[in-house]
Chains A and B, each alone.
Chain A
């Protein structure tokens, strides 16, 4: 298998911050909105360089989404960011009407997504945001896997005309996507070729899937690893091609089974290539306080869990 080099550890939210700054430098119409979390969401470098293009909305996320829509329909590229729990679920109706249905060029930024937000607990650890966002017609859903990819995804979101949800996280996680790797919305990355099982992962779980492939290789199992940075539109072709080759799939994400990447893959497979599939994710429960790594273990999101699921999927092949 192809070895992915660990280039260091960084938080994906800082990748967003770097991407936003770069997008702002490339296009003067890029504006940023935040609801009292500029530092946490890493909009601070953009704010420092473009104070006149940054709008501090106060703790008023619904208003923030509406203002973003008004700016966007006037010709701006409006990034509206908060913790994912508050930039999606809290303002779902605003996003539905003012962004998705109105087709405004708003980029919803969701930071601190998933259980790896850590100690703040379930109120802040949204595990439903991908489902909420992918259900909306017109909405592109991005969930990049590391710092470099999040930066590239943010720049791509700014260049794309239309509503985008971009999800990222709080903790420092491995950086392994090369800085110069091109990012194309809707185009999955085949990170590692294999023949026995397809590990189809998104976000923080991509690194875990690569680690799982290494564990499986020691047991003589060849796993293919696909990075789905775009959950919608889903690169169905890449997933089906892999499923036809390996004959079984494991979906991996830091999200509820309901509404997540697993559900999208399952729908795709059932309709086109019904092969055995196992799910890695959270099964209809809320998160809780704890350290990010402890929570990854508690919710069965680690490489070891993926490797076990892979073996189960392989055993179910006819």
Chain B
């Protein structure tokens, strides 16, 4: 297990990558990417049981991860590259013609680390459930992780999947919800309130775990706690409180940065707040 200080150093570099990728492409989604940099770092650098050198879409004998809110692809691409799934320099091709790093994740060009396309919201939980069932059928004791935006929970398919996983005891699945209370048109409360998510998931027969998604110690502890809750006939959800845009002061808690790219000046200002710990691509 990578220690907390090292995880924080990696997450800082991941945040730099996000800013540089989105800035370089003049498009993309920095807000949610920055908010999820800590959990993605913790998942890929220690928590999940992975085999980056021999990526296999089928994910046999390893943990599997599905990004349901595909628009935060920058954080995923950065973490995958930093973990060794593909060359770090490829991050510079993000959103460019012919790139394997599509605006939203794609399996079309077989980018190592990606098992399923996402972008149209609300689908990743169902896909994760399918992968989790396959693991059970095959007698594999590894886990399936999914990540969702909180706004994404407004999609009906999510609740079909939540109902199914609870009813069918899919207990080798950990869904993480990025609760930053923001979406494109405003706060989630204003757009269409999610209500009490903890109670909702519990009513659907899930085990809920909460954590502070922008405190690395809390993230590491929360992931461990969630993992300890698996295998007990209930799916597990982590309600992860985060700040959209975390790590860059002028982006934090402002939904304008959901899908807006920083200009050159803003990129420079943002990078000045994020130490280059692992070397830029």
Contact residues of A with B, CB < 8 Å?
A: 31, 52-53, 55, 57-58, 60, 62-76, 78, 93-94, 96-98, 101-104
Contact = CB atoms under 8 A, between A and B. Distances in A.
Contacts, number: 112
Given A57-B164, A102-B116, A66 B131 contact: no
A64 B163 CA distance: 12
Q: Which of B119, B130, B138 has the most CB of A within 10 A?
A: B130
B156 A72 contact: no
Nearest to B156: A62
Contact of A67 (B122, B130, B138, B163): B130
Interface stretch (B52-60, B77-85, B180-188, B193-201): B52-60
Nearest to B155: A62
Contacts of A68: 130
B164 A70 contact: no
B278 interface: no
Given A52-B137, A66-B126, A97 B118 contact: yes
B130 A69 contact: yes
A102 B161 CA distance: 19
13 contacts: A58-B160, A58-B167, A62-B123, A67-B161, A69-B126, A71-B134, A73-B58, A73-B127, A74-B131, A76-B137, A94-B157, A97-B117, A102-B117
Interface in B113-159: 115-120, 122-135, 137-138, 156-157
Given A63-B164, A102-B107, A103-B107, A71 B130 contact: yes
B107 A63 contact: no
Contacts of A102: 107, 116-117
B158 to A, nearest CB: 9
Nearest to A93: B120
Q: 4 nearest interchain CB pairs?
A: A70-B130, A66-B126, A74-B134, A63-B160
A11 B164 CA distance: 31
A69 B128 CA distance: 9
B127 A69 contact: yes
Contacts of A74: 58-60, 130-131, 134-135, 138
Q: Which of B116, B124, B127 has the most CB of A within 10 A?
A: B127
Contacts of B123: 62, 66, 94, 97-98
Contact of B134 (A65, A75, A94): A75
B157 A73 contact: no
A60 B164 contact: yes
B224 to A, nearest CB: 25
Contacts of A93: 120
Contacts of B107: 102-103
A104 B106 CA distance: 12
Contacts of A64: 126
Contact of A62 (B66, B129, B160, B167): B160
B132 A70 contact: yes
Q: Which of B118, B126, B138 has the most CB of A within 10 A?
A: B126
B157 A62 contact: yes
Contacts of A58: 160, 163-164, 167
A53 to B, nearest CB: 7
Nearest to B66: A70
B225 interface: no
Contact of B164 (A67, A78, A96): A67
A66 B148 CA distance: 15
Nearest to B130: A70
A58 B165 CA distance: 12
A173 to B, nearest CB: 34
Contact of B117 (A55, A71, A101): A101
Given A58-B164, A60-B163, A66 B157 contact: yes
Contacts of A104: 116
Interface in B95-123: 106-108, 115-120, 122-123
Contacts of B116: 69-70, 73, 98, 102, 104
A55 B66 CA distance: 21
A137 B106 CA distance: 14
B164 A97 contact: no
B69 to A, nearest CB: 13
Nearest to A62: B157
A76 B118 contact: no
Contacts of B127: 66-67, 69-70, 73, 98
Contacts of B66: 70
Nearest to A101: B117
Q: Which of A55, A64, A74, A104 has the most CB of B within 10 A?
A: A74
A56 to B, nearest CB: 9
B133 A70 contact: yes
